[in-house]
Structure 1
């Protein structure tokens, strides 16, 4: 049985690895977004909306793991660039957000391009890792994310992956 100190040490190790992966992957995406004239934070919002069709700002905040004021700032930029629509919901305090055709086209093009010509470091490295190891990593990551962030988050992440595979070139 592992001691509390050993479990804490492992949790610190997992945190450090995840943080490093996150920063490296974000930088890889930032480099690929230069051709799209949109920053990473804005693209993350577009990405989420592409797979959700419509969301409230609160749901967007939960899925993007960003506070609501950051989400709102990004949405205003995206609205100014005609990439999202923001409408009042049934309750005036609730804003419903969706992609415009221009926003849908941007994300669709990104997915199509990166699926056809994969140039992300992570994709290249994953191609060299045995499938069962990737599946185990995904299983453990899913358990941790579900327990720490919640079921909505992990279900959304699974939906994205399944939709990309299922729709191949016809998203």
Structure 2
């Protein structure tokens, strides 16, 4: 039993992870790696479909923050929020990436086939295809925006370790 009187394996109502990263390719890579570790600790194991999808979402949104939301001397913030379903059979994860550049607004390419030879510019198409929902909002505490994506991990039963 933990101090709240619940078994150690009980699922908290929600669990979150928030961290700021430098607005550089290294910062985006670190965001992906730390979020991957956190997901694994929450019971979404490395190599599972849910972990792979969420890792791609983190990677794409963090890369976009660095590529399109970069402002010299400003960081970007990643926030993961995990909500367990009442039946403890699925885990809903909301990912938010906040940058400080409000004039560069996200929009997926309207035609994924156009420019098929391009080597970039398809990140939001991946986000749109993989996420259950996604969108953006103006940043409430200053200039910039928050791009978010939500994904439900089906077949999830418990956190691997108490958080």
**Could you state the TM-score of these two structures normalised by the residue count of structure 1?**
0.29
**Could you state the TM-score of these two structures normalised by the residue count of structure 2?**
0.30
Higher RCO structure, 1 or 2 (CA under 8 Å, sep 6+): 2
Tell which structure's C-alpha radius of gyration is larger.
1
Q: Identify, as 1 or 2, the structure richer in helix.
A: 1
Q: Identify, as 1 or 2, the structure richer in strand.
A: 2
